[in-house]
Structure 1
Amino acid sequence: MTATLTATGTTPAGTTPAGRTPRGPRGLVWAVLRVHRTALVFWGLALTAATAGLLWMYAIADEARRPYVPCSEPVAADGYPSCSSLEAITADDYYSTGIALATSALTFAIFPVAAWAGGALIGRELESGTARLAWTQSVSPVHWLAAKLAVPAVLLAAGTGAVVLLNSWAQTDGNPNVVGDWYGPDIFVGSGPAAVAHVLAGLALGALAGLLLRRTLPATGAGLAAALLLYGLTELYREDLWQTVTRRGPEGLDPGRSAWVVDWQSTGTEGATTVKVTFHPESHFWPLQYVETGIVLTVAAAATLAAFWLLRRRTP
């Protein structure tokens, strides 16, 4: 072989001349990308569609908010436009629907990711024996699993994070009349780092399900069930993740349009009624986001560690 290379000055297919570094992804990373190229293409198309849609939402945002600016009836007067003309040209329905679709897609991305990770990413390769074949080709089980998780984790985190930023940008001033209340389940998760955390947790939980069951369909179902459980628990206990604010006052006490009211109690007799309102003001959005993100990332880390521990237990 050495003589042939010297005489011809070329190298066999798949090799590189001495001293040169191969270009592009290689080894396990390249294998993961090739095996799951269909999922990669789907993810790329989904990101492209989300980006295009949110750019359009931003473009029509001003028009969508026009019915909620000062106006006059029945005709324009005192420098204010006619309310009827604004209602006739508004794009608020398109805008509200588009924002709702984007936030829902971000929120529920955890479910298909968990199902895919359990079935296609891990379960199928263990069931078919592809994983064991890889382990005999100078690839340790630990390195195999690390690549299986690291590659999609980077792509999912980068893509989801980018769409979250675009979604927040497209919502401009966040007018609840057109984008919904900040504490709505879909809007809350899809508007902050919690969306990225949930997607990564779905990946880790699905991978753990695949290693536990080692079969495609059961692992798919188990990964989906684990994601559903995590999402349900975070939604159920979200209001308890940060200290609420309590106010007492007369019957007409109003905590404000943006307040997330979690409890309302009325006491007293007629004519002297006192109300007690417990709520989260809009300023609690980020504390709630950070706490939920930390909890969900902890679940993701625990599931990842459990997956590696289980792999070590079941392999030489």
Structure 2
Amino acid sequence: MTALLDKDTGRPAARRSLPGADGLVWTVLRLHRTAMWVWTAYVAVTAGLLLWLWGPGASAAQKAFDVFGYSGAQENAYLDGFSFLGFGGSFDSRFYGPSSLIGIASCAIAVFAAGPLIARELERGTAGLAWTQSVSPARWLTAKLAVPAVFVAVGTGLLVVLYWLVWNAHNHLLVAGIGPRSFAFSLGPATVASALFGLAVGVLAALVLRRTLPALAAAGVVQFLAGAMRGNNWPFQHSPFSRLQPELPVYSKAITSTGAKVSDPGCYLSQKCLDRHHITGFTRSYLPSPDYWPRQLAETGILLGLTALAVAAAFLVLRRYQPKKETAA
């Protein structure tokens, strides 16, 4: 009840704290300021990690790559010898860390929307008090959806852009296989759409169940399953003629002392072999896949469509929910 009571008199102050759209937005920000600060800190930390990978982390990995290249034992030696801020690990393994954080954050968004954002206010009666004082249920829900949606879209969009900067500059440092393929087909505008879907699912779960713990569990499970379907696992991302996943073409060459790019001679850890072939470095990059944008846009469209359905369902459920009138003290 704190957000809707006058701090001096203790009497309801809905009309003074919620005079219009601006006041309602301010109330949502004030009531959930802790969650907003946590979200801001998450975005800042993840962005910092990506910037580190883009700069110093990639430079250290590049030096090892120039020596060992990507052939059998060379690759293993380069990976085992790389460290991240004093902790064991490789550039390849650390590259996917922010992606995991983004996936965890989408589930956290759904849980927050289901619990503190909606269900807790329904249980405590603060939502009903606002509805009977000055704010219609539709306006209340609109603000509850719009304010977090702005934070989610801006924060997740920023991380996606930074991630693609790292990918475009240093994808040659990643080990070929399922990791780069899954990353390339999953990260993009659909990542932002997935986070917004989690927000809508959480709100809908809270309005349907009206209890914090059941809503938390339902929203978390749904968003987890939606995230598990991503990463190149949507049905339309499979070939209609095969069960194989789409691959990313890779361009890989060794660099000689004259600057020419030649086939990797497979010298492994033999410096004599490298000297004999005049190899001074290696280069490799994942080429853009023609399937990326069709698949990414299709996934984005599906997620945004499901988000719109969840939001519409939430407003329909809200219309059927008739709170008891509360009188001011």
Same fold (TM over 0.5): yes
The reply to whether residue 64 of structure 1 matches residue 71 of structure 2 is no
Q: 2:224 is aligned with what amino acid?
A: L
Distance in 2 between residues matched to 1:121 and 1:139, nearest whole Å = 16
Match of 2:195 among 177, 188, 199: 199
Q: 1:116/1:131 Cα in 2 relative to 1: closer, same or farther (>3 Å)?
A: same
The reply to whether residue 108 of structure 1 matches residue 104 of structure 2 is yes
The reply to whether residue 292 of structure 1 matches residue 290 of structure 2 is no
In percent, how many aligned pairs have the same letter?
Answer: 39
Q: 1:202/1:87 Cα in 2 relative to 1: closer, same or farther (>3 Å)?
A: closer
Measure how far apart 1:179 and its partner are.
Answer: 8.6
Distance in 2 between residues matched to 1:311 and 1:220, nearest whole Å = 18
Structure 1: 5+ residue runs without aligned partners? 1-13, 16-21, 73-81, 247-254, 260-280
Measure how far apart 1:83 and its partner are.
Answer: 10
Counterpart for residue 182 of structure 1: 180
Q: 1:309/1:256 Cα in 2 relative to 1: closer, same or farther (>3 Å)?
A: closer
Match of 1:305 among 295, 300, 312: 312
Secondary structure at the counterpart of residue 291 of structure 2:
helix
Distance in 1 between residues matched to 2:299 and 2:77, nearest whole Å = 43
CA contact 2:91–2:173 (8 Å) conserved in 1: no
Counterpart for residue 263 of structure 1: none
Q: 1:89/1:197 Cα in 2 relative to 1: closer, same or farther (>3 Å)?
A: same
Distance in 2 between residues matched to 1:306 and 1:257, nearest whole Å = 43
Task: Provide, for residues 241-260 of structure 1, a one-character-per-residue CA deviation record: whole Å limited to 9, x for no partner.
Answer: 365687xxxxxxxx77659x
The reply to whether residue 54 of structure 1 matches residue 46 of structure 2 is no
Measure how far apart 1:231 and its partner are.
Answer: 2.4
Q: 1:128/1:87 Cα in 2 relative to 1: closer, same or farther (>3 Å)?
A: closer
CA contact 1:114–1:224 (8 Å) conserved in 2: yes
Counterpart for residue 36 of structure 1: 32
CA contact 1:176–1:182 (8 Å) conserved in 2: no
Q: Which has the higher contact order (CA 8 A, sep 6+)?
A: 2
CA contact 1:182–1:282 (8 Å) conserved in 2: no
Distance in 2 between residues matched to 1:62 and 1:54, nearest whole Å = 13
TM-score, scaled to structure 2: 0.68
CA contact 2:118–2:206 (8 Å) conserved in 1: yes
Distance in 2 between residues matched to 1:302 and 1:256, nearest whole Å = 34
Task: Provide, for residues 190-228 of structure 1, a one-character-per-residue CA deviation record: whole Å limited to 9, x for no partner.
Answer: x31111111000000000000001111111111111212
Measure how far apart 1:108 and its partner are.
Answer: 2.7
Distance in 1 between residues matched to 2:194 and 2:75, nearest whole Å = 42
Distance in 2 between residues matched to 1:300 and 1:116, nearest whole Å = 16
CA contact 2:122–2:128 (8 Å) conserved in 1: yes
Distance in 2 between residues matched to 1:160 and 1:197, nearest whole Å = 9
Q: 1:141 is aligned with what amino acid?
A: P
Distance in 2 between residues matched to 1:302 and 1:85, nearest whole Å = 50
CA contact 2:80–2:90 (8 Å) conserved in 1: no
The reply to whether residue 138 of structure 1 matches residue 145 of structure 2 is no
CA contact 1:54–1:98 (8 Å) conserved in 2: no
CA contact 1:103–1:187 (8 Å) conserved in 2: no
Greater C-alpha radius of gyration: 1
Structure 2: 5+ residue runs without aligned partners? 1-14, 252-287, 324-329
Counterpart for residue 76 of structure 1: none
CA contact 1:65–1:178 (8 Å) conserved in 2: no
Distance in 2 between residues matched to 1:173 and 1:161, nearest whole Å = 20
